[in-house]
Amino acid sequence: MKVEHLLTRIDSVVKIGAKVAALGAGWILLATALLMATEVILRKTLNVSIQGVDEIGGYVLAITASLGFTYALYTKAHIPIDLIVRMLPPVGQRASQVVALMVLNFVVWSLIDGTMDVVQQSYAFSAVAATPLRTPLIVPQTLWILALLLFGLAAFLRLLLVLRALSQPGQQPPDEDLDDIPDLERPPQRGTAPIPDGGSDLVGGNVSRSAVP
């Protein structure tokens, strides 16, 4: 029980971090969009260009997208391809969702490992961007890998909590919905069949009673 309590507490902290990071990423994207719009207007009207806007936009896109991965994981915003999964029996559905989480963790941590190598090389060679800003690459790359680490930690905690819930009948992870964050799941469009509740519960982080034996 102590291990489960510790995992739950850590998961709660990561969820709060995901919420704050998502809000911050949204404001940063808005500021970047305004900066780009200003640059376009100045270029068209006064023939003046703000140096480095495209470079800053690239950094912002990489960092905010990585932060958005964690938010999407907790709010079940990732779109599951469950055409075959829905045809499986309940045991097969649960197994497929666990495998999906394992694959997700493998991909995320492989990406983090590769990104860490890039950051280490940038630090070793004091690399700077080949642009007018001459940005030290260690700065945006460090922010990028921190965002990926948040996603990796969230994915790993999801896997541990789901495995623990499935191994102990009657036990369920805590509610996965973030406080004050609206549900991003949309109602089915006209002409499409609704997705069953158990279709993506484990990957999204919500282990319902139907998903736990």
pLDDT at 1: 59
Q: On the CB side of 206, how many CA atoms lie within 13 Å of its CA?
A: 17
Q: How far apart are CA 196 and CA 183, in angstroms?
A: 16
pLDDT at 116: 92
Q: Tell whether the model's pLDDT for residue 96 goes beyond 50.
A: yes
Q: How far apart are CA 5 and CA 10, in angstroms?
A: 9
Domain boundaries, given as residue ranges, for the chain: 2-179+194-211
Considering the chain, what percentage of its residues have pLDDT values greater than 70?
Answer: 78
Q: Per residue in 55-73, pLDDT tens?
A: 899 999 999 999 999 999 9
Q: How far apart are CA 136 and CA 143, in angstroms?
A: 12
Q: Tell whether the model's pLDDT for residue 151 goes beyond 70.
A: yes
DSSP string, 44-92: HHT----TTHHHHHHHHHHHHHHHHHHHHHHTT-S----TTGGGS-HHH
pTM, 2 dp: 0.73
Q: Per residue in 20-34, pLDDT tens?
A: 999 999 999 999 999
pLDDT at 209: 38
Q: Which two tokens stand for residue 163?
A: 């495995």
CB 68 within 8 A of CB 20: no
Q: Which two tokens stand for residue 103?
A: 């694959």
CB 212 within 8 A of CB 166: yes
Q: Tell whether the model's pLDDT for residue 172 goes beyond 70.
A: no
Nearest to 15 by CA among 200, 212, 143, 179: 179
